Structure 1
Amino acid sequence: MAIKKSELYSSLWAGADALRGGMDASQYKDYVLILLFLKYVSDKAAADPDALIEVPEGCSFKELADLKGNKDIGEKIDIAIGQIAKANDLQNVIDVVSFNDEEKLGKGKEMVDRLSDLIAIFENKALNFSKNKAGGDDILGDAYEYLMRHFATESGKAKGQFYTPSEVSRVMAMVIGINKDTQRSQSFYDPTSGSGSLLLKVADECEGPASLFGQEKDVATAALAKMNMILHNNPTAEIKKGQSTLSNPLFLNNQGYLMTFDYAVANPPFSVKNWIQGFNPQEDEYGRFTGFGIPPEKNGDYAFLLHIIASLKSTGKGAVILPHGVLFRGNAESEIRKNIIKKGLIKGIIGLPANLFYGTGIPACIIVIDKEDAEERKGIFMIDASKGYMKDGNKNRLRSQDIHKIVDVFNKQLEVPKYSRFVSLEEIADPKNDYNLNIPRYIDSQEAEDIQDIEAHLLGGIPARDVEALEAYWEAYPSLKDALFEAGNRAGYYEAKVVKEHIKQVIFEHPDFKGFSQRMHEVFEAWATDAVRLLKDLEKGFNPKQVIFQISEDLLQSYHGKPLISKYDVYQSLMDYYSETMQDDLYLIAEDGWVATPYRIIEKNKKTGKETDKGWTCDLIPPSLMIAQYFQTEKEALEAMEAEKESIAAQLSELEEEHSAEDGFFADFDKVNKASVSKRLKELTKEGKTSLNMAAEPSAFYGETAILDQYLEWTEQQGRLNARIKKAAEELDKKALAQYQRLNTDDVKRIVVEAKWMAAMTTAIEGEMERISQRLTGRIKELMERYETPLPQIDKELEVLEAKVQEHLKKMGFNY
């Protein structure tokens, strides 16, 4: 049975992180990722004698696993890794750390236990990479990406720069025009490649192996990048390590000039202060600064940008992540910026949210370079995407909808108010701007201020400008405004026709509202019908990422141009559900087919070894869904008993609380329960005190014995009810389990696709519609409350109150 991808990755991280002890995450990642690499090449070699990576005899992961518990485990792992490195020309790639390093891994038994436990993590049966897929949809590649992201998070500000967030990488790849039709033979270059994640995301967009070239200064990080390329089915990628790309570029042609590429991407370190170390930019033999200018000595941002420009072919395209300062800083950088703009090299600028990157918290931007027809370029397309993100731990992260919106708007050059705009070169060159590219100069993304109306506060009424500002709603509900407002006694002001308590009712019952809701329901149903058909036709072995891409794009198209509701919000609802649930389901179906196999949940105590049966479950169709489909009557009966049980528990709690005060009947009890109450009741019986009869002496009914009797009666009811609940639950459990055995493929498809996936999406879309109406209701109520009491009325109320106060003071003998 397939394992859920989300569970696999989280367990890998949890296990690896727990074992690193006091070692810095930036160092520990090398051990974890090298072992993951060894597991991969071993599985490949075992499944294919002609596998690209040779695994010498005695060096497979299985043989390393046999070393668990051996006192020389670290030494033997180093020997095995060394032999694999030698056999595959991977020296200084997979052998950059020692598994026998006592300073990092501990001495003696501590090292043995740590390495043994670390190897055990990768023995998970689900980590079988012999059938690893390419095209960005493989378990290994995703696992590597997951671990890299978490190690980057844990490595801190100074050491997390080896990884570019995958969401940003995808944006960069797509805005420079890389897609499924891009020729794989074209070349892709990253002069500051880090772990290679950015290059690989670019390759993913064009599917399959591509010609990848990267240079990385840090030796260990370059090794990670090389492994990353192999793991992602790009073994021919050239990753060169050495000095900074600026002082010693390693990709040169036969004439000794810079190699040029079809595409280039980079996330260079921000504002490097020693960028000229190792060479003299005044005498740059590659001519990178000629015609542009030399960046300031203590800031290398433009040096990297100019290197990218020089490394592109005459029709080449590139995207570089740089701090916002490059857009507006003066002096030497101002001159360079002006020269780049005049040559038409900048196609676009995308302002990103702050705190996206692991090496810094400052906001950054993507500079999109396009040499093709640069001399004909008439302006620069700008996007302010700084407000579209979600919180993810201590970092921010682009959501699926943020990525899609940026790419849609940029590639279609759509001008969206407060978000995007094509800015002419004439405007940029205007003396008031003087080639300053700071985005707020050209795009005002500030929300409109909610202005208070002084006249309305003085004389009443609701300002017409506030009502007209809701024009989007009035277009969707043409006659609703007349149902809510009427013309006031002054021009430019409305009066409310309904009291604020009835606003929601009037809106929800209005024919326009109902009609709009019905039309939106039909839009969803049309999409759902097509999606259900596609999903039910899926057969074992399909690509889950292609499936979610198709149905999500169809959803976006379905809501394109629809009033009030944002197609990107609807899209995000689907992508959130995919991430939370549907992704795991699709991967299970892709591997096992439409099979709903229940299994027992057995928890093992690590200390005692005792196993506890926690019941059964099913990953594809959880028991709750099975019960809801086939045993609704039994479920409702069980819920009714549970409700009755909760009611009795509440009564018992209330009785105990009422009589636990200092002089209460339970005041002297150490613990109030059936045993202690029964004991006290026996004591009262021995003392000759019996329960009083309510009919004979109603005034004394709540004596101590009556309270104790009531407590015992309710506990006995609770006990009987618990027995009934247990029996009913066991019977329902057996029925549901038996029903699993009777499910056929069509049953599984119907339940999963319709009752699980589409039911969840229906709820999500209904939530979006509810938020639309709530926003309208809330705004109208806010306006009514704001102006419902004008100043003259407040003055009158104040006069009445002052008169009452004076009257009271007179009665008290105070006159003034």
Structure 2
Amino acid sequence: MINFQDKVSFIWSIAEVLRGPYKPEDYGKVILPLAVLRRFDCVLEETKEEVLTKYADLKSINEDAREPILNRLAKQNFHNTSNYNFNNLLSDADNIGDNLRDYMNGFSKTARDIMEYFEFDKQIDKMNDNDLLYLTIKRFSELDLHPEVVSNIEMGYIFEELIRRFSEHAEAGDHYTPREVVRLMVSLLFMRDDDILTKYGLTQTLYDCAAGTGGMGSVAQEYLHEFNPNADLEFFAQEINGESYAICKADMLIKGADARNIRLGNTLSNDQFKGEKFDYLISNPPYGVDWKSYEKPVKAEHEELGYNGRFGPGTPRTSDGQLLFLLHLVSKMKPVTDGNPQGSRMAIIMNGSPLFTGDAGSGESEIRRYVLENDLVEGIVALPNDLFYNTGISTYIWILTNNKTDHRKGKVQLINAVDFSKKMKKSLGSKRNEITQEQIDEIVRLYGEFKEGEYVKIFDNEDFGYHKITVERPLRLNFLISEERIAQVVEQRAFQNLATSRKKDESGIAEIEAGKELQESILKVLRNHINDTVYKNREDFEKKSKAAFKGSGVAIGAPILKAILAGLSEKDETADTCLKKKDEIEVDTDLRDTENVPLKEDIIEYFKREVLPHVPDAWIDHSKTRVGYEIPFTRQFYKYTALRSSEEIMAEIKELEKNITKQLEKVLI
């Protein structure tokens, strides 16, 4: 393992200089951009004089024209034309702020863009006003970050560890992905492509839609170079956070990669790689993050473009956008063609919510349905808890591909790796566990073997699907005219509205009086017919009620009759079925129920076996049947633990009582 902690400790000691004017959570606003500047300074050190000499000759020409010339001299994809560096900045303490700005403005466009997104210019004045700028620059000038001393890989580790420390107070959704988790993802991503990745001069593309500082891309490149030093994995990334974007872009710039492949913006509402496809896709998008603020463009794309856009299958609830990132990545997969038989592979980390949240027909369920029915999900690995620095929740790696091997077609592999970790000697935030390299190798072995066992289950895609059927039962009511039920009639809204109903009348008062009089007339008729007879057929009772009101000379409309019947009724399983017009059975919505019937089962056979024996009068409303998909991961690996016997528990209680008695005796003696 590369030893980078000494450099991190030194930089962290510089951060402590800022205590007072800066809160600990704000140290990163100073330390991270200065670490990038110092790295740039060291990388350009050997060619700086040659660049300055050439720049003097080319000052008069356009910056775009001279940039490639100076970059070639600098032997990098960037250069600096300022006369200052970290050493001579210290020679003029009184003007160090202005000189530092001159130094920063001397960088070429790409590097300047990086510093702008750090918004470091704001910090220069604050440090200067608090007499911290000179001291901080001096401490950084003592740090040697030359590529011969600190490799690009080690520099990536340093950046990531600094970010982790500076973001310990971040929200749970803004988590940093531990490197061992990324190594596991990359191993699963590339595991079946060894023959492809060992080809001489191979160039493949990797895309991360929520890249952070680009750590996943760095690990993937390391992995590929272990197999094939002559291969190239071109990294493309988008990141919403300006500071993370700046570090990611700086890392690419220092490595000599094309920093233009790193782009800023909201992936879901402003895709910076429209129409582009990639060989590999990897991401750890934010968990449970609300996307309501950009709901409009996402929903518009879904509705206007359908499956020609990214979100054709549907959209999840606005409280969690994880499945939107999944769909976005799916849209970036290269289709399998004669010219590209490889297709694409994807590794994405999500929490448990995308496995099961959302009922049949919901956006979440429809998205799961899409990826499963299109045979895109190859496997899902459940990770141990407490792996991440800012959250301890359960997480899962989903592996998707549009080119499954023959023995995996139509199948989904689940691996329960929740116990594949070891406790850390010292916790880092919420991170208490880590996955060892041996455990990574074992998980990859289990995945590659594709055999069922204690930690592995294999299912058909259809095993996760179901028909959600609506089971209806008839409405059965009895009717009784009693004081208690008459009181229920009085509570009916239609009856109460009679008193305030308004009709066109010559006087403005008579209409109200007429309404109250009608109320009193209705109650009088009902009380005149109080008896102990319970009617169990609504149609018969309704006819008798109409006749009673007609015989009393009280005219009532259909809404009032309905209110009277509702007040005088009560649910009764022994009563006759209530009918609508044309002998249609009326549904009792209170008894409405649903059943999830596995896709592999016949709905009618299931209904006869599981429902009718318990409710013989039930039926299925087929118009409401929906197809749903969920992946009940935990249930598949549940192990029943038998309860302890009552004798064993009583024996333990008695033993405890004896011990307590002995202890009390010692105290009382």
Match of 1:427 among 463, 470, 479: 463
Task: Render the CA deviation track for 1:140-167: whole Å, top value 9, x for unaligned.
Answer: 23322321222232x4226844x32222
> Alpha carbons of 1:329 and 1:22: their partners in 2 closer, same or farther (altered >3 Å)?
farther
Task: Render the CA deviation track for 1:773-801: whole Å, top value 9, x for unaligned.
Answer: xxxxxxxxxxxxx9xxxx9xx9xxx9xxx
**Superposed displacement of residue 341, structure 1:** 1.0
The residue identity in structure 2 corresponding to 1:222 is Y
> Alpha carbons of 1:25 and 1:232: their partners in 2 closer, same or farther (altered >3 Å)?
farther
Answer yes or no: is the 8 Å Cα contact 1:320–1:367 preserved in 2. Answer: yes
Answer yes or no: is the 8 Å Cα contact 1:93–1:226 preserved in 2. Answer: yes
In the TM superposition, what are the counterparts of 1:697-776 in structure 2 within 5 Å?
none
Counterpart of 2:75 in structure 1 is 51
2:382 is aligned with 1:382:
no
Task: Render the CA deviation track for 1:436-464: whole Å, top value 9, x for unaligned.
Answer: 21211211267x56856959999xxxxxx
DSSP-derived class of the 1:192 partner: coil
Counterpart of 1:487 in structure 2 is none
Match of 1:395 among 430, 437, 445: 430
Match of 1:443 among 625, 628, 637: 637
**Superposed displacement of residue 310, structure 1:** 0.8
**Superposed displacement of residue 65, structure 1:** 4.4
Counterpart of 2:163 in structure 1 is 148
The residue identity in structure 2 corresponding to 1:395 is S
Equivalenced residue count is 442
Answer yes or no: is the 8 Å Cα contact 2:33–2:118 preserved in 1. Answer: no
Answer yes or no: is the 8 Å Cα contact 1:93–1:224 preserved in 2. Answer: yes
Task: Quote the Cα distance in structure 2 between the aligned partners of 1:278 and 1:22.
Answer: 41
2:187 is aligned with 1:174:
yes
**Superposed displacement of residue 226, structure 1:** 0.3
Answer yes or no: is the 8 Å Cα contact 2:182–2:216 preserved in 1. Answer: yes
Counterpart of 1:343 in structure 2 is 374
Give the superposed CA RMSD.
Answer: 3.6
> Alpha carbons of 1:297 and 1:115: their partners in 2 closer, same or farther (altered >3 Å)?
same
The residue identity in structure 1 corresponding to 2:419 is K
Task: Render the CA deviation track for 1:571-606: whole Å, top value 9, x for unaligned.
Answer: xxxxxxxxxxxxxxxxxxxxxxxxxxxxxxxxxxxx
Unaligned runs of 5+ in 2: 48-72, 336-342, 467-596, 600-627, 659-669
Task: Quote the Cα distance in structure 2 between the aligned partners of 1:456 and 1:143.
Answer: 54
Task: Quote the Cα distance in structure 2 between the aligned partners of 1:441 and 1:77.
Answer: 60
Task: Quote the Cα distance in structure 2 between the aligned partners of 1:150 and 1:122.
Answer: 18
Answer yes or no: is the 8 Å Cα contact 1:78–1:95 preserved in 2. Answer: no
TM-score, length of structure 2 as denominator length: 0.59
Answer yes or no: is the 8 Å Cα contact 1:74–1:100 preserved in 2. Answer: no
Task: Quote the Cα distance in structure 1 between the aligned partners of 2:43 and 2:285.
Answer: 34
Answer yes or no: is the 8 Å Cα contact 1:317–1:371 preserved in 2. Answer: yes
DSSP-derived class of the 2:348 partner: strand
Answer yes or no: is the 8 Å Cα contact 1:59–1:80 preserved in 2. Answer: yes
DSSP-derived class of the 2:263 partner: strand
The residue identity in structure 2 corresponding to 1:413 is F
Task: Quote the Cα distance in structure 1 between the aligned partners of 2:16 and 2:239.
Answer: 26
In the TM superposition, what are the counterparts of 1:244-255 in structure 2 within 5 Å?
244-252=266-274
In the TM superposition, what are the counterparts of 1:36-115 in structure 2 within 5 Å?
36-48=35-47, 50-52=74-76, 53-67=78-92, 70-84=93-107, 87-97=108-118, 99=120, 101=122, 105-106=126-127, 108=129, 110=130, 112=131, 114-115=132-133
Counterpart of 1:293 in structure 2 is 314
2:247 is aligned with 1:224:
yes
Counterpart of 1:666 in structure 2 is none
Counterpart of 1:731 in structure 2 is none
Task: Quote the Cα distance in structure 2 between the aligned partners of 1:23 and 1:432.
Answer: 59
The residue identity in structure 2 corresponding to 1:409 is L
Task: Quote the Cα distance in structure 2 between the aligned partners of 1:325 and 1:29.
Answer: 32
Match of 1:188 among 206, 209, 214: 206
Counterpart of 2:339 in structure 1 is none
**Superposed displacement of residue 265, structure 1:** 1.0
Counterpart of 1:366 in structure 2 is 397
**Superposed displacement of residue 119, structure 1:** 2.4
**Superposed displacement of residue 71, structure 1:** 3.4
Answer yes or no: is the 8 Å Cα contact 1:141–1:231 preserved in 2. Answer: no
Counterpart of 1:6 in structure 2 is 5
Task: Render the CA deviation track for 1:462-493: whole Å, top value 9, x for unaligned.
Answer: xxxxxxxxxxxxxxxxxxxxxxxxxxxxxxxx
TM-score, length of structure 1 as denominator length: 0.49
Task: Quote the Cα distance in structure 1 between the aligned partners of 2:212 and 2:220.
Answer: 14
Task: Quote the Cα distance in structure 1 between the aligned partners of 2:203 and 2:309.
Answer: 26
DSSP-derived class of the 2:115 partner: coil
In the TM superposition, what are the counterparts of 1:558-637 in structure 2 within 5 Å?
none
**Superposed displacement of residue 374, structure 1:** 7.8
Counterpart of 1:313 in structure 2 is 334
The residue identity in structure 1 corresponding to 2:170 is G
Task: Render the CA deviation track for 1:22-75: whole Å, top value 9, x for unaligned.
Answer: 5355653243222222222222222355421312242323233445xx233233
2:301 is aligned with 1:276:
no
The residue identity in structure 1 corresponding to 2:464 is I
Answer yes or no: is the 8 Å Cα contact 1:26–1:159 preserved in 2. Answer: no
> Alpha carbons of 1:223 and 1:20: their partners in 2 closer, same or farther (altered >3 Å)?
farther
Counterpart of 2:34 in structure 1 is 35
> Alpha carbons of 1:402 and 1:83: their partners in 2 closer, same or farther (altered >3 Å)?
same
Counterpart of 2:178 in structure 1 is 165
Task: Quote the Cα distance in structure 2 between the aligned partners of 1:98 and 1:294.
Answer: 35
Counterpart of 1:759 in structure 2 is none
> Alpha carbons of 1:316 and 1:158: their partners in 2 closer, same or farther (altered >3 Å)?
same
Match of 2:221 among 186, 190, 203: 203
**Superposed displacement of residue 415, structure 1:** 3.8
**Superposed displacement of residue 213, structure 1:** 0.7
Task: Quote the Cα distance in structure 2 between the aligned partners of 1:158 and 1:103.
Answer: 31
Task: Quote the Cα distance in structure 1 between the aligned partners of 2:329 and 2:319.
Answer: 19
2:447 is aligned with 1:410:
yes
> Alpha carbons of 1:55 and 1:20: their partners in 2 closer, same or farther (altered >3 Å)?
farther
> Alpha carbons of 1:21 and 1:423: their partners in 2 closer, same or farther (altered >3 Å)?
farther
DSSP-derived class of the 1:147 partner: helix
Percent identity over the alignment is 23
Unaligned runs of 5+ in 1: 253-257, 459-785, 799-816
The residue identity in structure 1 corresponding to 2:215 is S
> Alpha carbons of 1:405 and 1:16: their partners in 2 closer, same or farther (altered >3 Å)?
farther
DSSP-derived class of the 1:9 partner: helix
Answer yes or no: is the 8 Å Cα contact 1:353–1:363 preserved in 2. Answer: yes
**Superposed displacement of residue 233, structure 1:** 4.7
Counterpart of 2:605 in structure 1 is none
Task: Quote the Cα distance in structure 2 between the aligned partners of 1:5 and 1:386.
Answer: 29
> Alpha carbons of 1:77 and 1:191: their partners in 2 closer, same or farther (altered >3 Å)?
same
